[in-house]
Every structure is written in C-alpha cells, then in structure tokens.
Amino acid sequence: MKKISLALAVAFLCLIISFGCGKKTTEISPDVASSDEALFKLGEKYIKKDSEKARLYLRQVIDSFPKSFYAQQAKLAIAETYYRKRDEGSMIIAASEYREFISLFPYSPSAPFAQHRIGMTFYRKALKPGRDQTKTKQALEEFKKVVTNYPLSEEAKSAQEKILDCEERLAEHTRHIGEHYYKVKAYNAAIGRLTEILTNFPNYSKMDRIYYYLGDSYFKATLVEQSIPYFTKLITDFPQSKLAKKAKARLEEAENKKK
C-alpha cells in the first residue's frame, strides 16, 4: 500500500510540475489523481477550450494507468486534439499519434478509426490535380490499409470511397501530363503516361479521353497498327462520347493505311 501511495504521490507531483513548466498551475485532489476515469474526464473537459491543458491530463492517464481502458481513450483523444486543428504541423503530429495508438492497442475496436484518421490527415491536405500529388498518394496508401487490415469495419466502407476519389485525382493528374506531351508532339512520352492510367486506374471516369489520345499518339507516331485497338475500344465502350466521331475518322484512316 505504501508503494502504491508513493507512486500516486509522484504522479501527482509530476502533473503539477508539468503544468508549472508550461507556466500553468493547477491543483487536483488525490481522489482525481488516483482515478483513471476522473483524470480522463478532466482532460476531456478541457479539449475544446484549452487543448494543451487537456493533453497534460490525458497524458497523465496514459503514464499512470497504461493498461487502462481510459489510457486507450486518452491516446485517441490526444490525437483528435491535433487533428481538429487542421494545420499542416498538427496533421503530422496527429498522424504520429494515431500510429502510436495502433501500435500500443492493435486489437482495440478503435484501431480501424485510427487508421482511417491517418488517411484523412493526408487526404485533407491533398492538392488538386495539376499540382504535387504526394499527399494524395500517401492518403491512398493509408486508406488501403483500412480495407486490408479491417475489411469488416464501418471505416472500410468510407475508406473504399476515399480510395476511388484518390485514384480519380491521380488519374486526372496523369492525364494532364499525358495530354501535354501529346500537344507538344512527344508521343512516346504521352503513350507512357496514358498507359499508366489504363494499368493503375481502370475506374477513371474519363477513360474515353485516354483511349482517344493513346490511339492518336500511336497513330501520329506512325505506329498505326497499334492505334486501332484504342480507337475501336472508344467507339465500342463510349459511343456517345464527343471523341467517338473523331475516333471513327481516325480508324478509317488507319484501315486505309493498312491497305
């Protein structure tokens, strides 16, 4: 009993010192200091009005009661305080906190939520197609982990939707580059980029454009035989596309060149 009392006293002292170092002072009763639930609720109380103070209480729950249910909740709550701030630095810290949560509590029912949140820290900072897509790629990788590691979770459904959106963004970005190469007559480079979309993003919403510019890149690179399957695919799969008429004309040219 003496050892337990001493441990609580030290924890209580550390808590006061922590606030003191941050130029904040507070006092809590021994009853609160000795209760994981009470400490957690005290931290939870300050989350919206003073997140820094809230984190000090929440970290004390983790330090004093590492195997407690409230230690799990506290770790997750700390991550959330950073996530809600939304700035770049806070998102980086939030992702780190969520990763630590999964590492410490891999079998927690909240693990799928934490993994989904990691994806969201990147997704919320992803830039539009045409700009750097590093964040989009990182978000895609993290959302795939949700589906792979927690396939039956509610978060997996949301992650799947985010995966499709990330893939659409990446495909759109790659299409812009491919069409740029096409316009400057760098046909081999255009073919390389546009083929990436066929391989990596088969659900892309503007696939008619990919078939047309791939076919025409081959056609203008004097690889006429290789252009035909793409024009044919466009006409067959997207008969209502604005590019279907142009594809038919090119297909006729290609057939005539073969004769």
Residue 20, pLDDT > 60, answer no
Q: Residue 254 — very low, low, confident or very high, per pLDDT cuts 50/70/90?
A: confident
Tell me whether residue 125 is in a domain: no
Q: What's residue 255's pLDDT?
A: 83
Q: Quick one: which of 224, 174, 216 has its CA closest to 199?
A: 174
Element holding 55 (H helix, E strand): helix 51-64
Q: Is residue 257 part of a domain?
A: no
In a domain, 238, yes or no: no
For residue 30, pLDDT over 80 is answered with no
> For the whole model, what pTM was predicted?
0.84
Please provide the size of the chain in residues.
Answer: 259
Does the residue 91 lie in any domain? yes
Q: Is residue 202 part of a domain?
A: no
For 144, the enclosing helix (H) or strand (E) is helix 134-149
pLDDT reported for residue 204: 97
Distance from C-alpha of 209 to C-alpha of 207, rounded to nearest angstrom:
5
- 157 belongs to a structural domain: no
What number of other Cβ atoms are within 10 A of residue 246's Cβ? Answer: 15
Per-residue pLDDT tens over the stretch 79-120? 999 999 989 999 999 999 999 999 999 999 999 999 999 999
Assigned domain for 136 exists: no
Q: How many domains does the chain have?
A: 1
Q: Is residue 118 part of a domain?
A: no
* 18: CATH: 1.25.40
Rounded-to-integer distance, Cα 40 and Cα 122, Å: 28
What's the pLDDT tens digit per position in 200-249? 999 999 999 999 999 999 999 999 999 999 999 999 999 999 999 999 99
Tell me how many degrees the CA angle 79-140-172 measures, rounded to the nearest 5.
135
Tens digits of residue pLDDT in 147-199: 999 999 999 999 999 999 999 999 999 999 999 999 999 999 999 999 999 99
Please give the residue range of the domain that contains residue 76. Answer: 1-108
Q: Where is pLDDT greater, at 28 or 175?
A: 175
pLDDT value at residue 24: 52
